[in-house]
Structure 1
């Protein structure tokens, strides 16, 4: 948000899409938690691919590697002087973690167990 400065109608579109997704996901989760976690795992995989392409564009000089916004440095606990590339790297790693957790959750539901009884092992990513 700090880097791209979206217009009001772009923000409204994102808000509307999030509303549709939330309600669809809620309904999907009520019907099949396994399917819902699997879908999110695949969405996270697409996000990882998108961030990888974004990094290539930064590395090729097609997108300027500007200084990271202060909010990103604070949130991700990045060192001072971090850049947009540094932010994209930590966000991509976070998406990878979300992908793994959701596929794990889908597998647990597939096995007929519940996450409360079968949490991810310590150190699982």
Structure 2
């Protein structure tokens, strides 16, 4: 938000879409947790692709590699001199972890088990 500085109507659109997605996901999860986790896993894969493309644009110089916002430095425990590129790399790694966790959760449900019966192995990401 600090980097893009969206206008009020752009923020309103994001809130609206999040509200619709949240409710649809909630209903979808009630119907089929396996399906819901798989969908999120695929959404995360798309996010990883988008962040990879974003990094390529930064590397080409098409997007300015500005200093990282303080909130990002604090959240991801980045060095104080971090840049936008460093933040995007950290976010992309987070998305990869979320992708793996959601595909793992879907696999567990596919096996007819509950997540509490089969936690992710130590070191799983």
TM-score tier by shorter-chain length is over 0.9
The reply on whether 1:16 has 2:16 as its aligned counterpart is yes
- Deviations 1:5-51 (Å, cap 9, x if unpaired)? 00000000000000000000000000000000000000000000000
- Aligned partner of residue 116 in structure 1, secondary structure: helix
Where do 4+ consecutive residues of structure 1 move more than 4 Å? none
What is aligned with 2:41? 41
Alignment: residue pair count? 125
Q: CA deviation at 1:107?
A: 0.1
What is the rounded CA distance, in whole Å, between the counterparts of 1:115 and 1:43 in structure 2? 20
What is the rounded CA distance, in whole Å, between the counterparts of 1:90 and 1:54 in structure 2? 13
- Aligned partner of residue 117 in structure 2, secondary structure: coil
The reply on whether 1:103 has 2:106 as its aligned counterpart is no
Any gaps of 5 or more consecutive residues in structure 1? none
What is aligned with 1:84? 84
What is the rounded CA distance, in whole Å, between the counterparts of 1:103 and 1:66 in structure 2? 34
Q: TM-score, normalised by structure 2?
A: 0.99
What is aligned with 1:65? 65
What is the rounded CA distance, in whole Å, between the counterparts of 1:105 and 1:59 in structure 2? 35
What is the rounded CA distance, in whole Å, between the counterparts of 2:71 and 2:38 in structure 1? 31
